[in-house]
Each structure stands twice: as structure tokens, then as C-alpha cells.
Chains A and B, each alone.
Chain A
Amino acid sequence: MASERCAVIRVDQIVKDFRPGFGLRRKRVLHGVTFEVHEGEIFGFVGPNGAGKTTTLKILMGLIRPTSGSASILGCDVSESEFRNQIGFLPENPYFYPFLTAREILDFYARLCGVDSRSRAERVSGLLEVVHLSHAADARLRTFSKGMLQRVGVAQALINDPKVVFLDEPMSGLDPIGRKEIRDVILALRAAGKTVFMTTHILHDVEMICDRVAIIVNGTIRHQGCIEDFLPDATVSTGIVLSQLPAQIAVEMEERFSVEMRGLGERVELTIPAKRVQDVLEMALAAGAQVISVTPHKGSLEEVFLNAVREEEGSG
């Protein structure tokens, strides 16, 4: 479905070299990064620390110029500034002028985006409500917690009602409730037809909300595609919790079915290969054991991510 939509972000063979210090030696941090983000999707850009996520994002924001390659957003080269009226950006750990209030800082960004004076106050109040900061609208930002600043950051990224939103670690520093709120905002953006590009370390969030993912390791894209492609349907293993399992049967199960066993008081938790579930359950029930739960374990994005990192370390 996603591939049929038009690409709103195109990154083509981006290379970036930095010169550490004053020497002539250059360090390559991006090695021909290429990907596309389609209209109306949530795209997760995942990678370990120092992989090149923020550098790629800064190139898209025009904060860094690529050494070679090209990048465009909504068909415009990223070095231009006028199209930026149609995008929003939340940097990692955003910092704002501490002497301003939440309302004042949003008003400042609205002015920069050319939001007219009639709709500015309304837009600012609306966004403060969206990020649950209406109660602190007139408090100075110096009194805000990290989580509150993050929410101000999300609000400023949406001040111009952008078509494409870039979020660098949007869940960083948020408690579980805050993360849920930001997740809901991101999902609402997709529902409104916006495109969201987000970098994050929290793979669980990516699994929950992203349509497509790219994994970058050491400046190279290792995997990219739909989130379903990363999560195999086949069950890898199954967890079964039993009670009243005779000890003799437990020993026999361990030997016959390669079962991993863990005692939980009177209960016992078994982790078994998916294909042996039927055999283990029949044996347990025949021995008079009671089945408390059966949980299939599937492959996760985390495994794909860790494998990509290990592959890179192995080749490096």
C-alpha cells in the first residue's frame, strides 16, 4: 500500500564527511544513505548511538550540508528555506529560551512561520491543549520539566500545521503516560494525512506505530521496509505456565522436548520450541497438570535490530 503512495521525502546516496579538529583527515559518517518516505506514513529511522540518525535528520533540516548526494522534501531541495512552511521539526532534547512562557515561545515560532495574527492565539491555545500544557501556558519555560519541554517541542513542530513532521527521539525523557500521549499525537497526525519521520531508540514504540522502518548502522542503511516485513508471522517459541505438574513428568519433558523450565512457586513456566507445543500440552494434561496460560513468542524488531548491529560489528 505504502509503496503506491508518492514519496514526500527522498534521500539519494547521501555521503557526509566531517573533519575532526583542524587536520586534513576526514571521517565519513554517512555512506550513501538512500531511502524514501511516502505520503501519510509513519517512518521509523532506527539505529544505535552514533549510527548517523541525527546527522541524516540535520541534512534534511538544512542544518548540515551533505558532502555528496541529494535530499528533497515535498519535491524541494533541502537547501531551500521557503518550503519549510510545510514541515515541522522536533530536535532531540529540545531547548527553548527559558525566559519565555510556553505561550510566548509558540507565538514566536508562529510568527516565524508567518501565521497571521488573527489565528495565532487560537492556534497556540489549541496546540497547548493537544500536548496537555494548557495549565502551564503562562509559566516560564525555566520551570518546566524535561517531559514538559519535550511537549512544548512537539507543539512548536506542529505550529504551522505541517504536511511532514520530523521528530528526533520524540519519546526521550518522557514517563509512560507522556509517551502514550505523544504516541497518540503521532497517530492522530497520520490519521489527519500527515507524514511523520521519527528517529527513536525505543523499538517497542516503532513496532506499535510505524508503517515502515529503516535501520541504520555505522552510516549505512542495513534494512528498510514495511514493519510487517521485520516481524515474522511464524511463532519462534511458546511459553506455557502449568500448575500441579508432577516432578517426574517435568524431568521427562526437559529431556524429550528440549524444554527450558523455571519454577514460579507452585507453578512452572516452560519455554518450548513452537512445533512441540501439542506434545507438551498432551503430556502435561495426561499427568493431571493444569494449564494456566499459553503464550506464543514471535520474532521482534529488537532481534532484527540487534542482528544488524552484530553483523556490522562482525564485518567491521
Chain B
Amino acid sequence: MKSLLRIQALAFNTFREALRNKLLYTLLGFGVLMIGSGVLLATLSYVDVDEILQDVGMGAIRFFSAGIAIFIGIGLIHSEVDRRTIFTILSKPVSRSEFLVGKWAGLTITVWLQLGLMAMAFAGVSWMAGAPLGADHAVAIALIGLELMVLVAIATFFSAFTTPMLAAFFTVGIWMIGHLSRDLRALGERSEVESVSWMSDLIFTLVPDFEVFNMTLQAVHGLEISAGEIQLAIVYAAGYTISTLLLGSMIFSRRDFK
């Protein structure tokens, strides 16, 4: 219970700090602008106008939210060490794991909040354009929220032991590979070179499959999103987040703060 209260205090403080980050508003602004620009892009086509509008909107939400999660997340721990604010925090009865989880929770709440704002912009633009809106759209956006939760955990993990530059490089790389890993695996299966096939399998196993959280196609084209797919995404997100934070805590616990 005491541990939860400490994590809550750290998360709330991280949330307050993240809200003061200008990058958040810059990316949020661009995201909303991109969602709005879907109206213009849709006018270029005579068919599937609503689909283009919503496809662009969902893509913008995913891309700019991921940008916020990555570029605020990578400096999350590093800035605390750099400014030495971590010294006074860790001298209190706060374990390093609690510190890491608190930072992750604070940023996850922040990205969920901005996701909510982008979702409202998306709904507003869709409503004004007369595009259909249903529960599937809400589910697709909620799954983006799960993807962001995993992404923040990965950014926090790298931030726990490396520089922001390297953390950004690794996190962006994993996010991009994570969206392409199914294609990579399919290519590997077709390859006649055994090592290529073996390597693509390894990448698919190690790197989170972010396509599990991508239900844009189903939502935009009115296809059904099954309960099984939602359950899989929830379990997958929880599993990856917990294991990433556990590994991060283990590394972070061994770190010296000179």
C-alpha cells in the first residue's frame, strides 16, 4: 500500500512535469493539424472519402502520440540524474523499481491524456465531415493507448541506463521494426537462406509486435474487431510492459549515480 502511494506521488509529479514540456504541445498541435488535414486529403478522391479522412486521422494519432511517448520518455530518467533531483528522491524510502514505475505511470497518463484530446479532434473532424463513428473507432483508439503504454515502457527502459540520444535511436528502431515484424517474418519464411529465416523469427519473438494494437483498417472499413483480438492486445501489452519494466528495474538497481 505504501509502495503504491509512493508510485502515485512520483507518477503525479512526472505528469505535472510532462505537462510543462513544450514538445508535448508541439506534437499535439501537429497531430491535431494532421487530423484536420484529412478533410483536404479526402477531397482529392471521389471514392472512399470517409475512409481516407479517418485513415489519415488514425495514422496521425498513432504517429504523433508515439512521438510524444518516445521523445518525452527517453529523457525521463536521464533528466532526473542530470539535474540530480534523483538524489533526494532515492534517499527517501523509495526503491529504484518504484521510481521507474512511477516515472512510467506518470508519462503513460500524460500520453493517454493527449491521446484523448486527439481522439476528440478526430471525432470532431469525422462528425463535421459526416463520416461514420462507432464503437470500433473507440476500440481502435483504445488499442493505440495500449501501444503507447508499451512504448513508454520501452523508452523508460532505455532511459534507465543510456543517453537520450541512444534511447531515442533504440526506441524508434524497436517501434518501427515492431510494426514491420510480421512482414519481416513473412519475408524470412519465403527466404531460401536458413539464417535469414532464423533471424526474422528471432526479431519477431524479441521485438513487440505492434501490429497487434493496429485495428485502424477494421475500424475505418467497418469490419468487426473480435473480442479475442482485444483480449490478445490487452494481455500482450500487459506482458510486454511488465517484463520491460522488470528488466529495466534490474538494470537500474545496479546503476551508480556519480
Please report A residues at the B interface, Cβ cutoff 8 Å. Answer: 18, 58, 61-65, 81-85, 87-89, 91, 93-97, 99-100, 108-109, 111-114, 153, 156, 160, 166
The 6 closest A-B pairs by CB, nearest first: A89-B91, A111-B9, A112-B92, A84-B93, A91-B87, A63-B257
Distance between B10 CB and nearest chain A CB, rounded to angstroms: 7
Most buried by B among A64, A81, A94: A81
A193 CA to B166 CA, complexed, in Å: 49
Picked from A64, A88, A114, A153, the residue with its CB within 8 Å of the CB of B256 is A64
Picked from B83, B87, B94, B256, the residue with its CB within 8 Å of the CB of A112 is B94
Enumerate chain A residues within 8 angstroms of B91, measured Cβ to Cβ: 61-63, 84, 87-89, 91, 166
Enumerate chain B residues within 8 angstroms of A112, measured Cβ to Cβ: 6, 9-10, 89, 92-94
Q: Bits for B242-258, please: 1 = Cβ < 8 Å to A, else 0.
A: 00000000000010111
The answer to whether A109 touches B88 (Cβ under 8 A) is yes
Picked from B17, B20, B90, the residue with its CB within 8 Å of the CB of A63 is B90
The answer to whether B92 touches A84 (Cβ under 8 A) is yes
A166 CA to B90 CA, complexed, in Å: 14
Most buried by A among B6, B84, B87, B89: B87
The answer to whether A95 touches B83 (Cβ under 8 A) is yes
The answer to whether A63 touches B87 (Cβ under 8 A) is yes
Least CB separation from B257: chain A residue: A63
With contact pairs A81-B94, A160-B92 given, residues A114 and B2 touching in the complex (Cβ less than 8 Å): yes
The answer to whether B92 touches A113 (Cβ under 8 A) is yes
**5 A-B residue pairs with CB within 8 Å:** A63-B256, A91-B87, A95-B83, A99-B20, A112-B6
The count of chain B contact residues (Cβ–Cβ below 8 Å) is 26
The answer to whether A97 touches B17 (Cβ under 8 A) is yes
Least CB separation from B20: chain A residue: A99
A294 CA to B199 CA, complexed, in Å: 88
Distance between A158 CB and nearest chain B CB, rounded to angstroms: 12
Knowing that A96-B85, A109-B92, A114-B5 touch, tell me 6 more A-B residue pairs with CB under 8 angstroms: A63-B87, A81-B93, A91-B91, A97-B17, A109-B88, A166-B91
Enumerate chain B residues within 8 angstroms of A111, measured Cβ to Cβ: 5-6, 8-9
Enumerate chain B residues within 8 angstroms of A89, measured Cβ to Cβ: 87-88, 91
Enumerate chain B residues within 8 angstroms of A63, measured Cβ to Cβ: 87, 90-91, 256-257
Distance between A204 CB and nearest chain B CB, rounded to angstroms: 27
The answer to whether B84 touches A95 (Cβ under 8 A) is yes
The answer to whether A82 touches B93 (Cβ under 8 A) is yes
A156 CA to B89 CA, complexed, in Å: 10
A113 CA to B98 CA, complexed, in Å: 13
Distance between A314 CB and nearest chain B CB, rounded to angstroms: 29
The answer to whether B257 touches A114 (Cβ under 8 A) is no
Enumerate chain B residues within 8 angstroms of A61, measured Cβ to Cβ: 87, 90-91
Is the C-beta of B163 less than 8 angstroms from some C-beta in chain A?
no
The answer to whether A62 touches B92 (Cβ under 8 A) is no
Is the C-beta of B190 less than 8 angstroms from some C-beta in chain A?
no
Distance between B18 CB and nearest chain A CB, rounded to angstroms: 11
Picked from A58, A108, A153, A166, the residue with its CB within 8 Å of the CB of B257 is A58
Distance between B72 CB and nearest chain A CB, rounded to angstroms: 15
Enumerate chain A residues within 8 angstroms of B87, measured Cβ to Cβ: 58, 61, 63, 89, 91, 94
A124 CA to B173 CA, complexed, in Å: 45
Is the C-beta of B197 less than 8 angstroms from some C-beta in chain A?
no
Residues of chain B in range 92-134 having any CB-CB distance to chain A below 8 Å: 92-95
Distance between A84 CB and nearest chain B CB, rounded to angstroms: 4
A113 CA to B88 CA, complexed, in Å: 11
Picked from B85, B90, B256, the residue with its CB within 8 Å of the CB of A97 is B85
Distance between A289 CB and nearest chain B CB, rounded to angstroms: 59
Distance between B220 CB and nearest chain A CB, rounded to angstroms: 40
Is the C-beta of B37 less than 8 angstroms from some C-beta in chain A?
no
Enumerate chain A residues within 8 angstroms of B90, measured Cβ to Cβ: 61-63
